[in-house]
Each structure stands twice: as structure tokens, then as C-alpha cells.
A and B are shown apart, each in its own frame.
Chain A
């Protein structure tokens, strides 16, 4: 058994087998895994907002999908991982409170997931598995040894994607 590396909110980190990388209680935030099957190295981003260019106060780069992914890619490339060998798995982006109106607040989970898809497309990284949306929180843990992404939620069976 390896170590377990914890990623907080608006945070990112990288990890290699046999370690695993985990983030607890993803709500409307989005969790993005970048994974290289060959070297068994991976990175996780826990982003809160889709787009850093829409926000005045954008110093904390891991808070956003766009700048967070840019930094995560740079970290992995520094470890010798080639961008062309990376695949992605995406989780989170739930709508925790169900408002009747489609307000700015209730749509944020979906917009985070959309931003993740768009950004990854821009980098030519394909998403090979996704567990997003719906109305519940998720604790997610990725194991680079097997490439499995474990999803845990309150009152639901554990799934692997």
C-alpha cells in the first residue's frame, strides 16, 4: 500500500503508483484527473470555478479550471510525462441545492464540468470516464497503479469509473 495524497478545495497535486490521490466531499466543484497509463503518474485538480478570465481576483490559480489545468499539466510535464500520453477522468459538478429558477448559483456545477470538457479538448486530452452532475456530493480517490477512479457518496454504493 502506498501513501494517500490529499487534495483540498482549490488545490492540485501529482502522484505516482503505488500512492493514491484523494479529495473529500466534492460538491459543485469539479475534480479532474490527468493520467499517464505508461508511467503510472497522475495529477488531480479540485477547481471551484470555470474561468479565471471572468473574475477580478484570480491569484489562486488552482481555484479555476483553466489556470489549474495549465499548472497541473506543467507539473506533470516537469515529471517527464508527455501530454500526448495523458487521458482524463472527471467527477463532481453536482447541483447541491435545487432552485426552481435556473439561477447563476444553481448552474455552477454544470458550468464547471463544461469548462473541464472544453479545456481538455483544447489540450487534446480525451476524457475516458466521467461521473458528474446530479445532486449529491462525492469523495473521489484515484489509484494510478490500476487507473481506477473510486467514487463514494452518502447512502450510495461505491463505484469505480
Chain B
């Protein structure tokens, strides 16, 4: 079927997205565990359709300082992916990768490359799960990083969703590594044509 906008997603399609999310999360936690050499688990991700106007309230409120890692997609599937988390979570993730313990909220170049690497791993894991389920070849850009207010950073995916409808599709995923809780949102934004392709390939 052809989908006019994201507003028209059915329950079955929703389940398929949830499945993509679960496999993606599984891949991501394995990749992170290997990289950090310690067990990182990810809770079963929640797929959500959110009104565009409410998107910026999700991660601690519109003015909450967050980190956004954005990757653009090309190949059979076009669009973008974003992994967003509070800067506090970003700090903990960077610390884990670098093996340091600081609460300094200024991110230096090493922190930034650590976060980009994490972004690569997480978005790559989700991309592989989509590739696996659909057989599509997806090419991703290098990760782009931004630190700013939640509403400002989320305006970028919101605008892309805005071209197609009034809702945004996102996957809420949280990592558990010992006591450190790292909560992040994975936002998948295939363009409408690519979304159609994914859905029809999954036979929905």
C-alpha cells in the first residue's frame, strides 16, 4: 500500500517497526558491549508516534541541553537518523568510552569523537536491522554532532517529518551499564518513498 503520511500507520506496521527497533537495540548493545568490553544492555525499545508539537518536550523539556548525533542516509533508503540524549547522558557515555570520570559539562574534541563513534555504532546497528529485514543496501554519512537546547536540535528531524505529516516516529531506548543509566532517543526518518519501500518489502 502507499502511505500518504506517517499519520496513517497501522498496528501491523507499528509492530514491524517495533521489531526493527528491538533487533536494532540488540545489535547496538552487542556492539557497545564489545567496544567497551563490559556488558551493556538495552531495554526493549518503545516505538512512539509523537505529535510534532510535543517532540521537543520529550527529552527533559524544550530548553534542556542535549546532544544530537545526526546521520544522513543514501542508497536504497534515503532520509536521516538521529540519536539524541541529555548532555548528562552524553557525558556518561563519553566517560565510558574514554575510561574517565569527570562531570565537566564542556565536551572537548576527544569527548566529541567518542560520541560520534557511539552514534555510528547505534545508528549502524539500527541500519543493519533494517537492511537485514528488507535486503536494502543503505549508505550512511559520517556522524554530525550538535550541542544545544532540545527543541532547537529536534527541530531538524521535526522539519523532515513535517514534510510528510504532523507526527514523528521515534524509538525510546535506554542503556543499562551497571548503575549508570543512559537514556537516549533514536529517531528514524526515512523519506516517504523509502518508508513505503520498507513497508512493502516487509509485506505489510
Contact = CB atoms under 8 A, between A and B. Distances in A.
Interface of A: 8-11, 24-29, 48-49, 55-57, 59-60, 63, 94, 96-99, 103, 105, 108, 135-139, 154
B146 A97 contact: yes
Given A10-B162, A24-B63, A97-B70, A57 B4 contact: yes
A78 B15 CA distance: 47
Q: Bin chain B's interface residue count.
A: 35 or more
Contacts of B164: 57
Contacts of B156: 27-28, 96-97, 105, 108
B155 A154 contact: no
Contacts, number: 110
B162 A49 contact: yes
Most chain B beta-carbon contacts within 10 A, residue among A27, A137, A138? A27
A154 B149 CA distance: 7
Nearest to A135: B146
B65 A27 contact: no
A96 B70 CA distance: 10
Most chain B beta-carbon contacts within 10 A, residue among A11, A63, A98? A63
Interface class of chain A by DSSP: loop
B159 A29 contact: yes
Interface class of chain B by DSSP: mixed
B52 A105 contact: no
B80 interface: yes
A97 B164 CA distance: 21
Given A29-B159, A96-B68, A105-B80, A57 B152 contact: no
A105 B72 contact: yes
Query: Would you list the 9 A-B pairs with minimal beta carbon distance, nearest first?
Result: A137-B152, A25-B151, A27-B155, A27-B152, A24-B62, A25-B149, A97-B144, A8-B53, A25-B62
A56 B4 contact: yes
22 contacts: A8-B56, A9-B53, A9-B158, A24-B149, A27-B148, A27-B149, A27-B153, A27-B154, A28-B152, A29-B159, A57-B4, A57-B165, A63-B166, A96-B153, A96-B155, A97-B68, A97-B146, A99-B141, A99-B144, A137-B149, A154-B65, A154-B147
